[in-house]
Structure 1
Amino acid sequence: MQPAVILSATDWQELTERLARLEAAEHARALATATRPDEVLSTKAAAAYLGLCAEALLRARRAGRIAGVRLNEKDWGFRRSVLDAYPRRYHRAAQAA
C-alpha cells in the first residue's frame, strides 16, 4: 500500500518549480567541482607550496596530520586540495634580525 498526498494545483506547481531550482543548483555545483581536477604534487613541490621542508611534510604525513598519495614504492604525492586545507598553525612569521 502506497500513501497518496493530495495537493492543490498551485502547491504542486510551487513544489515542482522548487525541485527544478534545487536540481539546477546541484547540477551547477557538480559542474563547478568537476571542472577543476585535483592536482597531485610531488613531495618536494608540495613542501615548497606549504613553505616546509620535504622531511617535515613527510613527518606530518606519517603522524597522520596530512593525507598523502602513494606514487610508487618510495615516493609520495599530495593533492592540492589537501594541501589547501592543511592547518597552517605551525607556520610562524619570519622574524627580522
Structure 2
Amino acid sequence: MNDEVAVKVYKALGEPTRLRLVKALASEPEMACAVMANKLDIQANSTLTHHLKLLIDCGLLTVRREGTYRYYSIQRNILEIYAPTLIPDNNSL
C-alpha cells in the first residue's frame, strides 16, 4: 500500500458527495455526467466536475470520452485495496 495514494484516496472519500459518487459508480459499469447529476441531485455542473476531478486524480475513477460525452467508471483494483466495503459484492460479507 502506497501511503501517498492512500492519503489521496481517503481524503477524496472523506467528502460526502464524493463518497456518494463512488458508491453509485461501484454498482454500474460506467455512468455519464448527466446521469450522475440526476441520480445524486447535483445541480451545478461545476460542482460535479470538481468532485470527479479529485476522484480521477486519486486513481479511483477513469474517464472515457465519446464525442462530447464523458463516461466515468470505477477503478475496481484501487477500490478493492483502499475501500473494499464499497464494492457491492463485498457488502454481503
Fold conserved between structures, TM > 0.5: no
Give the greater-gyration-radius structure (CA). 1
Which TM-score applies when normalising by structure 2? 0.30
Higher helix share: 2
Q: TM-score, normalised by structure 1?
A: 0.29
Whichever structure has more strand as a proportion of its residues is 2
